[in-house]
Structure 1
Amino acid sequence: MSFRVVRSSKFRHVYGQALKREQCYDNIRVSKSSWDSTFCAVNPKFLAIIVESAGGGAFIVLPHNKVGRIAADHPLVGGHKGPVLDIAWCPHNDNVIASGSEDCVVKVWQIPDGGLSRTLTEPVVDLVFHQRRVGLVLWHPSALNVLLTAGSDNQVVIWNVGTGEILVHIDSHPDVVYSACFNWDGSKLVTTCKDKKIRIYDPRNGEIESEALCHEGSKATRAIFLRHGLIFTTGFNRSSERQYSLRAPDALNEPIVMVELDTSNGVMFPLYDADTNLIYLCGKGDSVIRYFEITPEPPFVHYINTFQTPDPQRGIGMMPKRGCDVTTCEIAKFYRLNNNGLCQVISMTVPRKSDLFQEDLYPDTLAEDAAQTAEDWIAGNDAEPLTFSLKGGYVSQSANKSLSVTKKANILNKASAGTSKSASSAALGGNHATSNNNNASSGSGFVSGVSEKDLRDITDEIRKLKAIIVKHENRIRALEAAVRAQEGDDTDSRPAAAPVTAGNGNSSSKAATDGGAQKESNDNSSANDQSHPTAANDDEF
């Protein structure tokens, strides 16, 4: 007698459940761009979605408690001159988000607690380098203020956002970069390109460590680093069948696993949960979410189940583990963007009878604090991301952070003064970013990096502008008084007008006209006489 042994796994019974429509986000004009992006980014405080916008690119930012139907005139983040292609929340500050656009500019924004009350058009900093559209933005997992951007100019740039300077420039890709991903500690970088190759870089110097053919199909491919060092990829074969693979960095040419899924033509986005080693495959245009478990034993990638929905998805975002509800054994949460304007919330849950904290489901997860500064990372130091336990619940550490900052200031620097280096100010392409040092009141003759002479010049300019405004206001008041006086005289003169008769109609009409003209001339003279003293007084002011 033959029998089959069922593989033991605590995630074998994971199931997905969609929240009710009133608990989701409706009436959202999701972007219709054909760019292969998720169009959605989520963190424990906000939900950001790229939307259609006239006159430039924009995305909407919603607090998680603002569910239901979203007003058509809801404030947006709209400073780009072209459609927004990709957005990413900073993993070390839940109020900071980066966006890349067709206008070739990367912008970093700060969102106030509670969301937007009016449209935001002024970013914290503009990162200008790319010559063509920017379709990929990615934050470093452990280093503060380190951001990677990639554009259709085949360039990959790593920035220090706190100072606005370029740390590393990689120009070895022969074609458009489809995806990029750091490994667990940020010491390696994997990219996929339109030339069908996968490459592993040293991100500090831009040197290629290894490369190989990824998937043979001509459509977009994706690659991500797993926590234990392996690489998971998605793509297409020559027959346009979708497939995924698992590879070792030192043997990219020989996939450990290569599996064909189906013949759909939508790009698959692999969403990875490093705590549970689960991978969720979400295809653009699909109505399903497949999830797999990665294990050290063959066949290494184990299919678990499929979550089915009736509507296809245009994009999707995955909530960090900090935002999951541990009381209901929720291990993942997704935000699906449908074609009908609905952002549907999907909760992935492990069924458990006990209401106690399940330590086997929730190992220590990624914390909000950075493990090192950008200066430490570029100097060659490696540090794994900081982790913490969800047993006591999660409280955002940026909740009490002051948001009244100066434009272009290094508001992203959250590291303590004893452990972080102050970011030096730098200029790049005409854009300046100043470090956020607490020396504004020092007695060195400088206030926030501005000299006393500059302050005096600015004060004099403001005083002159105020004088001009007062002068114009007085002139406007005088003219308004003259207009009111003229309207009053015209009203009083109408009942006293002589009736028009057949015999003297022409003379009466002429006399009335002459009288009105004379009156108007006198009123104008009076208005001019009133305006001249006012101007004189303004000159004295």
Structure 2
Amino acid sequence: MSRRVVRQSKFRHVFGQPVKADQMYEDIRVSKVTWDSSFCAVNPKFVAIIVESGGGGAFIVLPLAKTGRVDKNHPLVTGHTAPVLDIDWCPHNDNVIASASEDTTVMVWQIPDYVPVRNVTEPVVTLEGHSKRVGIISWHPTARNVLLSAGCDNLVILWNVGTGEMLLVLEDMHTDLIYNVGWNRNGSLLVTTCKDKKVRVIDPRKQQVVAGRGPALSPHPPPRPRSVPWLTRVTNRDGGFGAAAHPPTTALAPQKNFEEPIALQEMDTSNGVLLPFYDPDSSIVYLCGKGDSSIRYFEITDEAPYVHYLNTYSSKEPQRGMGFMPKRGLDVSKCEIARFFKLHERKCEPIVMTVPRKSDLFQDDLYPDTPGPEPALEADEWLSGKDAEPILISLRDGYVPVKNRELKVVKKNILDSKPPPGRRHSHSTCNPDFSVSPALEEVLEEIRALKETVQAQEKRISDLENKLCQFTNGTD
């Protein structure tokens, strides 16, 4: 009788390696704020990093194609009056990014494809609703323009960015500071971790906790349960999630049964909080410790023991933050299954995870169809109770980022609302039927036209500078 000794898996030999020195980003003043976010967000076009800034909060946006030493005068995205705590790219528009700050606001920005000549200071929309600092933001995975924010006021607010309005406010669900929020694959549920050492599964549209367990799904509760990525293709075919808690324990629990965790993975002591990243296409969880210098990765399966240790990538320098590239931004010709952007004190170092294959052909088993940039629902449809899985795309021919799509915000005009019933008394000698709405609309239209003119001039100046650089480099 033959007996299988080694577990069969196409990801057993995944290995990580840093890129060459000229493909790193150097001279970046990474933020020193003591907050447990990743400080970095990545998409197929840009890498955004929270940086030090005097007189407020800022982050820098760098094109992926432009590497090397960053100019100290490189334009920043500024506008917050206090340090930026979290940033997140919109999954449905590669030019839109949201930022959360200690100034209690959330701002949404439109990033141009070209490098602007001056700081970006005007957000597309400012969302105000929290009374304390906002430390967590997360876009809905399938619905257009739906953004979640969580603050130190223990509130979770869902916004319609397209109108600048609140959709839902989840209050009285958390008794203490919220550490992390994660969506499930279709955005129908979310899971949170809290300072009270409890993990909660919440139906946001019903505004109720559908499952909860504490402390942190562990028989030996750690000091602080932190990040919780929602795992698909997990035990019991019910969906599930992993509670990546403060070292030394990582727990895995099914969504519908919180009585006992189905798997506990003991971790060695890390210097800081763990940042988990989950790849649903390969069912691999990557655990990165802030202040640590390693990336541990595990494969999640449908059979016991469910969690299988694969390997550890280690480097010499400790990491201050980490960005995780979406699947559509990977180089499929090199069998690349994950790419990290590792932040150091003055540098951003891309790390590439690769499966060794000799063939140059497209590897179907490594790259199943993955969520694309098109939303499956509108905000109103999701709010009404409709759910939809992400719209998938094939990576067989590689992914080409779409051109800049403008985020349009349509706010309700309070002047268009009907006046309260009853006779209005006025001491003005003007015509009582006079309305200021047309005049206001005319002024707003002029402001829009001026903004478009300024943006066009900035692009023209940038193009001329690039041509001048090419001309100068081509002459003695």
TM-score past 0.5 threshold: yes
SS in 2 for 1:327: helix
Deviations 1:112-157 (A, max 9, x none): 0123331011000000010110000000000000000000011100
Q: TM-score, normalised by structure 1?
A: 0.74
Deviation at 1:12, TM superposition (A): 0.7
- Give runs of aligned pairs for residues 283-294 of structure 1, distance below 5 A: 283-294=289-300
Deviation at 1:452, TM superposition (A): 3.6
Using the alignment, how far apart are the partners of 1:164 and 1:424 within structure 2? 6
Matched residue, 1:282: 288
The letter of the residue matching 2:335 is C
Q: Among residues 377, 381, 405, which one is paired with 2:382 in the alignment?
A: 377
Work out whether residues 38 and 86 of structure 1, in 8 Å CA contact, stay in contact via their aligned partners in 2. yes
Using the alignment, how far apart are the partners of 2:259 and 2:164 within structure 1? 38
The letter of the residue matching 2:181 is A
Q: Among residues 355, 362, 375, which one is paired with 2:367 in the alignment?
A: 362
Matched residue, 1:183: 184
Seen in structure 2, the aligned counterparts of structure 1 residues 382 and 25 have a Cα distance that, compared at 3 Å, is same
Using the alignment, how far apart are the partners of 2:413 and 2:154 within structure 1? 25
Work out whether residues 95 and 404 of structure 2, in 8 Å CA contact, stay in contact via their aligned partners in 1. no
Deviation at 1:219, TM superposition (A): 2.6
Using the alignment, how far apart are the partners of 2:313 and 2:446 within structure 1? 65
SS in 2 for 1:322: helix
Q: Among residues 230, 247, 250, which one is paired with 2:240 in the alignment?
A: 230
Question: Do residues 453 (structure 1) and 459 (structure 2) align?
Answer: no
Deviations 1:195-227 (A, max 9, x none): 000001111132111111115222342112112
Matched residue, 2:54: 54
Seen in structure 2, the aligned counterparts of structure 1 residues 196 and 400 have a Cα distance that, compared at 3 Å, is closer
Question: Do residues 245 (structure 1) and 241 (structure 2) align?
Answer: no
Q: Among residues 394, 412, 416, which one is paired with 1:425 in the alignment?
A: 412
Deviation at 1:259, TM superposition (A): 2.0
Using the alignment, how far apart are the partners of 2:442 and 2:142 within structure 1? 43
Seen in structure 2, the aligned counterparts of structure 1 residues 459 and 117 have a Cα distance that, compared at 3 Å, is closer
Deviation at 1:456, TM superposition (A): 6.3
Using the alignment, how far apart are the partners of 2:240 and 2:395 within structure 1? 26
Using the alignment, how far apart are the partners of 1:206 and 1:373 within structure 2? 20
Work out whether residues 234 and 242 of structure 1, in 8 Å CA contact, stay in contact via their aligned partners in 2. no
Using the alignment, how far apart are the partners of 2:313 and 2:321 within structure 1? 16
Seen in structure 2, the aligned counterparts of structure 1 residues 425 and 262 have a Cα distance that, compared at 3 Å, is same
Using the alignment, how far apart are the partners of 1:426 and 1:451 within structure 2? 9
Matched residue, 1:94: 94
Work out whether residues 198 and 225 of structure 2, in 8 Å CA contact, stay in contact via their aligned partners in 1. no
The letter of the residue matching 2:412 is S
What is the aligned-residue identity percentage?
Answer: 54
Deviation at 1:459, TM superposition (A): 10
The letter of the residue matching 1:284 is K
5+ long unaligned stretches in structure 1: 411-422, 428-449, 462-541
Q: TM-score, normalised by structure 2?
A: 0.84
Deviations 1:4-35 (A, max 9, x none): 70001001111111011211100000000110
The letter of the residue matching 1:199 is R
Matched residue, 1:75: 75
The letter of the residue matching 1:195 is D
Matched residue, 1:443: none
State the superposition RMSD in angstroms: 2.1
- Give runs of aligned pairs for residues 511-522 of structure 1, distance below 5 A: none
Matched residue, 2:392: 387
Aligned length: 416
Using the alignment, how far apart are the partners of 1:103 and 1:298 within structure 2? 46
Seen in structure 2, the aligned counterparts of structure 1 residues 400 and 234 have a Cα distance that, compared at 3 Å, is closer
SS in 2 for 1:262: coil
Deviations 1:355-410 (A, max 9, x none): 0000010000110000010000000000001111000221222x154x5x8xxx42
Seen in structure 2, the aligned counterparts of structure 1 residues 426 and 184 have a Cα distance that, compared at 3 Å, is farther
Work out whether residues 295 and 314 of structure 2, in 8 Å CA contact, stay in contact via their aligned partners in 1. yes
Deviations 1:141-180 (A, max 9, x none): 0000000000001110011111111111111211110001
The letter of the residue matching 2:32 is K
Matched residue, 1:504: none
- Give runs of aligned pairs for residues 319-334 of structure 1, distance below 5 A: 319-334=325-340
Deviations 1:316-348 (A, max 9, x none): 000001110000000110000012x11001010
5+ long unaligned stretches in structure 2: 234-238, 415-435, 448-476
SS in 1 for 2:381: helix
Using the alignment, how far apart are the partners of 2:437 and 2:312 within structure 1? 63
Using the alignment, how far apart are the partners of 1:204 and 1:426 within structure 2? 27
Matched residue, 1:7: 7
Seen in structure 2, the aligned counterparts of structure 1 residues 102 and 6 have a Cα distance that, compared at 3 Å, is same
Which structure dedicates a bigger proportion of its chain to helix?
1
The letter of the residue matching 1:311 is E
